[in-house]
Structure 1
Amino acid sequence: MYSNEAPKKSKNSGSSKKRSKKSTWGSRERTSMSFFIVIAFFAIFGIIILTEVLMIDDRNSVAVRHVSVNRFSESVPDYEDVKDDYADDSSIFVRENRFAASAINNLFKKKKVDPQDKSISGLPVASENDPNAVPWGQMLPTKIEANLPPYTPDMKPLDGQWQVVNGTRFKFFVFSAYYDRRDGRMLRIIGATKTRSPEKVWCRMWYPIDGNNTKFRSISVMARVKVIRENWNLKYSACFILCPLRISYLDVPYSVSIVSKLRMPPGNVLLLRNTDTDHDFVNRSVANIPNKIAVCVKPFHFNYDQAMYVLEFLELNNLLGVSHFTFYNHTIGPKANCILQHYVEGKIPKQFLVNSQHRSNDGDNKNFTSDAASSHNENLTIIRDPKITVEILPWNLKMKSQKEIRTEGLFASLNDCLYRNMYRYSHVALIDLDEFIIPRHNDTISELIEWLSKRINNKNTGAYSFQNAFFYLQFANDDSIYDKKVPNSQVRATLVTQKKTRRRQKLHPQKQRSKYICKPEAVIEAGNHFVWEFCPGKGSLNVPSNSAILHHYRVCEFGGSDCIKSPSVEDKTAHKYSSRLVERVSAIYEHLKQPCNLPNLPPTPTKAPPTRARILRVGKLNATVSKSTDQQHDVKIKKIVFP
């Protein structure tokens, strides 16, 4: 019996050992496979990191230093580290242009000029002993310059239009060019390009050699691309292209082209503005700049067509002392565009009749002059003063708003407007269509600035900053718009500054939602809510809220109507312009109603629309109270309107 069981036991034991060995082998196989996967993962990850490191441009550290600053940090000067950036660029020059080695070796070396060399006749050249010549602004040798593509006669210099920079790997556009005669002469081009590690470009400056500006010779210098700080870390950003004129007697050119490769024909020609020969520019010193105010508005988009808003914006700002407006048209609706075109062409009534009995309603007729009284002595002819001028520039930037660049490239438009109005107007306000800078005690902004200068030493003031106050459109309308006895009550009921008089009690702190008025010649880089960079010695003055604030009329910023739950106050400061504003808008509306196909105004409302306020019920409702009895009035229901 035992002999028969022994082999069986041995068989089971052998089978168990085999299973044990098989199980052990499978476990080892899985362990080895896991180890191999981990090793492979780290190997692939290492290869990716190594590839990225090798592909990074060594210039990236310089570019990032300029674009990654905190939004509220101090200014970074235009000229910081320019020698480090551009001191040795011969390798780039060789790769892009393949010039002879002898020319490369002498590229940035000062060379003696042969006065018999006809190729430089009539052109300024680098002086042998010029102490102002620096490498990044050094011009090309004349023999190399002579072999570059010539000026194309069919390309006329343009101003205020987006043009392409040929030959770049990424999108690169230029819009306008200005001569900046302040600390260090240079050409300042407004453009848009890649935010991080922008590609290097050259400035080809064109000098006419005939009286008709049809034939040109060029001087080329290496440029510097400076990304405008407010880019929101998107792929593309507004930028400055800086072309130095550091050679002591290098003349100011007539136009300029921005190129990425010198051997490639230019894809753009920009007319240089703010020169002594500019058609609308007078070489003024800071002391005699006209005491006038201009307004800059970011590009119209989404086919903006709020006709009455446009009229109110133009006429109220004119009452506040603004005489010039600069707009940028990405997409605008037909009615708003028609109104603006009439202002551009000066087809707006310059005088109209106003009932003298209604002029005393707000007691603010001191800025008007009477031309003649009517026979009944009830009407006065009011002359518009000052005259409004409007400029509209096309804005066809080929970048995706909010995906590639911040809101239609608005920072390019703000800085273009700043330099476009420099030396022409003493002050420039950068605001939106739903914003108004309203003085509390003065009638105009000019009077406010003068009043501030007598109380605060503003010798070093380059900008005046105003705190933002939200006048939410969800707040209840002012009761006065329901009064039909008020003259032109239909028009008044459509004006946002007249019907919205309740604002959020808490003002935003400075640099958050604030807007400003600046002296253009004191600013180098403009931002949306504050100035990023001033000229040396200049700064910003925070205007006290009891002197003036920014009235901002908009819907709740986060959607819905929860914003009206916040504490609020009634502010009727803008009503001091009521009669003048309503009279102006009424006259111009009637004048443009037919030519611009403006819609009929809704009738004057007689009562407030159903309130959106919350209802607080105090006590309990007696559900058994019959609606037919007089006891309804005893139900304790208290309505509290939360503004």
Structure 2
Amino acid sequence: MYSNESTKKSKHSGSSKKRSKKNTWGSRERTSMSFLIVIAFFAIFGIIILTEVLMIDDRNSVQVRHVNVNNRFSESVPDYEDVKEDYADDSSIFIRENRFAASAISSLFKKRKLDPQDKLMSGIPVVPDNDPNSLSWGQMLPSKIESNLPPYPPNIKAKDGHWQVVNGTRFKFFVFSAYYDRRDGRMLRIIGATKTRSPEKVWCRMWYPLDGNNTKFRSISVMARVKVIRENWNLKYSACFILCPLRLSYLDVPYSVSVVSKLRMPPGNILLLRNTDSDQDFTNRSYADIPNKIAVCVKPLHFNYDQAYYMLEFLELNNLLGVTHFTFYNHTIGPKANCILQHYMEGKIPQTFLVNSLLRPNSGDKNSTGDLTSHNDNLTTIRSPKITVEILPWNLKMKSQKEIRTEGLFSSLNDCLYRNMYRYSHVALVDLDEFIIPRHNDTISDLLDWLSKRVNNKNTGAYSFQNAFFYLQFANDESIFDKRIPNSQLRATLVTQKKTRRRQKLHPQKQRSKYICKPEAVIEAGNHFVWEFRPSMGSLNVPSNSAILHHYRVCEFGGSDCIKSPSVEDKTAHKYSSRLVERVGSVYEYLKDTCKLPNLPLTPTKAPPTRSKSLRIGKLGKNVVNTTTNNLEKNDVKIKKLSFS
């Protein structure tokens, strides 16, 4: 009996040991699997981080800084640290030794003249190095070497605002304009486009006239620095700055400049330097002397843009808002829109308009746009501020969206910024379907003055406005169906008057937002926000109850699903109705035949309301009839609620 019990106990203990061994092995296996999974996770994560690090160009990297300043206008300091290293780079160049340039090297540093054959065959490529005989960024080439470089090309005229090629580079390299930047040190800032990653090194050859006719020149060459503009979408080519400092105090500001990749090659471009004291439209103004005016920059017009009504509405409504100057870049534009812009550029448009003072909002307000010239009963004669227009050719030889972002728009935005610097106190960077509309003020100038009284704007370099989509698929405003309103046919054509329903939720700042900036406070402009300010300057986020960006467009991703999102009615732009219709109508009639503008579309007709047929119940009792009627009334109320939601 005892033996049987002991046998059973031994069997039981043996089986329990086996189970414990199995459990131990299973737990070890799970532990090892978990460990392997963790190792695999960290390995994959490490590979991703390593890949990102290798792909990022260290010279263009910036450190993001988020700062929350507690004030009700959300004024913020620059989003990026001051990138002084971008302008204080001490990288150097040396003369690469090859079978054609052996004597060129010794000639450069032994200060003897080159042989004619050496002059012809030796290109001087520019590469970074720490060679003791190297030239650092911004350092002048010795005068004896300078005297042996190719002279000023007699067949090329110095130009401003034209794309010109940089000869001798491996990749595409173009330059458009050059500006003298006198802020925080003297520097030539050239707007261009080139390779995004590891751009090729280049030189600046600065030209100084030897006579009053600008026919003979001497040159001074300095090593340049290429600074790629941040917003490049990782495409092959990007907008860029070519920076050429004037470090020596005795150096005068040059007349023009050429960007070259090889000093021994004749320059393929000559850029007329802007923002100098010799500019015809520029005087050496201090910041306090800048005219209190607003200019607008528009990205390159492409796809043969030819929306005549939109163009007229854009120009005249912005003029009502206080804008007096527009800068356009013409890649491809249609004949009607081009004809309109040419007439504005030449000043050949009417400037006096009759406005019904009863329909005109703020007609007695001193802030309303336009000068009152006469008054007769309800009709008021208004003379509008003169509109000036500048159109620059934009023939950039890079494939849009494949090689560079949207016709190189970031080159145009920054060119427009520096082109209007010191000439206008504020510059707005918007598209043709966007309008910055104040809620309570009549003009943008009034809005900025109002903001300056409520917040210390000493450090404000830009004003940012949240984006609101007024989808074109939304139903038209009811007022456009009223034919009793004067010029109802034209009013129904204007997008700001017929589209008054917008998406309820505004985009957060820096997403689809647009801004107005003080040009002298900005170093690098972006599409939706400023990338870099001068030290101590920042952006002011304007509250949405003060002003927003009205953006009139179709649904972002195609189709019409966007109109299902919650929406609200916003008729803020209707306060300009009377003046806007009168202005656009006068210019339209003036240019209709000359520019072959299309006839105005007929005033849309409101669809008749649908009526439900009356029900005859017949032999059914009175209670049934009452019940049916009540149900129909309830359903009708529900339908009305849905239609206004």
Classify the TM-score, shorter chain. Answer: 0.7 to 0.9
Cα shift at 1:221: 0.3
Cα shift at 1:83: 5.8
Cα shift at 1:220: 0.4
What is the SS of the residue equivalent to 1:284? Answer: coil
Structure 1 residues 249 and 563, CA gap change in structure 2 (3 angstroms): same
Contact 1:63 1:198 in 2 (8 A): no
Say whether residues 1:201 and 2:199 are aligned partners: no
- Counterpart CA distance in 2 for 1:338 and 1:508 is 36
1:521-573 alpha-carbon deviations (Å, 9 max, x no partner): 00000000000000011011111111111111111111111111111111111
- Counterpart CA distance in 1 for 2:99 and 2:309 is 57
Q: Equivalent residue for 2:395? A: 396
Cα shift at 1:351: 1.1
Say whether residues 1:275 and 2:276 are aligned partners: yes
Q: Equivalent residue for 1:569? A: 568
Cα shift at 1:355: 4.2
Q: Equivalent residue for 2:80? A: 75
Cα shift at 1:372: 3.5
Instruction: In structure 1, give the amino acid aligned to 2:447.
Output: L
Alignment of 1:293-372 (within 5 A): 293-359=294-360, 366-372=368-374
What is the SS of the residue equivalent to 2:442? Answer: coil
Q: Quick one: which of 58, 66, 70 aligns to 1:65?
A: 58
Contact 2:474 2:499 in 1 (8 A): yes
Cα shift at 1:95: 9.0
What is the SS of the residue equivalent to 1:417? Answer: helix
- Counterpart CA distance in 2 for 1:562 and 1:184 is 53
Instruction: In structure 2, give the amino acid aligned to 1:431.
Output: V
Cα shift at 1:199: 0.3
Q: Equivalent residue for 1:508? A: 507
Unaligned runs of 5+ in 2: 1-52, 67-78, 112-134, 618-627
Cα shift at 1:65: 1.9
- Counterpart CA distance in 2 for 1:252 and 1:93 is 33
Q: Equivalent residue for 2:548? A: 549
Please report the TM-score for the alignment, with normalisation by the length of structure 1: 0.79
Instruction: In structure 1, give the amino acid aligned to 2:94.
Output: S
Alignment of 1:128-277 (within 5 A): 135-277=136-278
- Counterpart CA distance in 1 for 2:434 and 2:370 is 24
Cα shift at 1:360: 6.2
CA RMSD of aligned residues (A): 2.9
- Counterpart CA distance in 2 for 1:159 and 1:609 is 58
Q: Equivalent residue for 1:489? A: 488
Cα shift at 1:634: 7.3
What is the SS of the residue equivalent to 1:90? Answer: strand
What is the SS of the residue equivalent to 2:85? Answer: coil
Structure 1 residues 470 and 610, CA gap change in structure 2 (3 angstroms): farther
Cα shift at 1:358: 4.2
- Counterpart CA distance in 2 for 1:96 and 1:281 is 46
Contact 1:483 1:606 in 2 (8 A): no
- Counterpart CA distance in 1 for 2:512 and 2:284 is 35
Alignment of 1:524-563 (within 5 A): 524-563=523-562
Contact 1:470 1:551 in 2 (8 A): yes
1:236-293 alpha-carbon deviations (Å, 9 max, x no partner): 0000000110111110000000000000000000000000001111111001100000
Contact 2:514 2:528 in 1 (8 A): yes
Structure 1 residues 72 and 490, CA gap change in structure 2 (3 angstroms): farther
Q: Equivalent residue for 1:381? A: 381
Alignment of 1:35-54 (within 5 A): none
What is the SS of the residue equivalent to 2:415? Answer: helix
Unaligned runs of 5+ in 1: 1-59, 108-133, 612-616, 623-630
Structure 1 residues 92 and 228, CA gap change in structure 2 (3 angstroms): farther
- Counterpart CA distance in 1 for 2:609 and 2:330 is 37
- Counterpart CA distance in 2 for 1:194 and 1:545 is 39
Q: Equivalent residue for 2:33? A: none
- Counterpart CA distance in 2 for 1:389 and 1:497 is 23
- Counterpart CA distance in 2 for 1:406 and 1:305 is 22
Cα shift at 1:606: 2.7
Cα shift at 1:311: 0.6
Please report the TM-score for the alignment, with normalisation by the length of structure 2: 0.79
- Counterpart CA distance in 2 for 1:562 and 1:70 is 38
- Counterpart CA distance in 1 for 2:484 and 2:313 is 21
Cα shift at 1:78: 5.4
Moved more, 164-173 or 633-642: 633-642
- Counterpart CA distance in 1 for 2:56 and 2:138 is 19
Cα shift at 1:64: 0.6
Q: Equivalent residue for 1:90? A: 94
Contact 1:326 1:417 in 2 (8 A): yes
Structure 1 residues 602 and 81, CA gap change in structure 2 (3 angstroms): closer
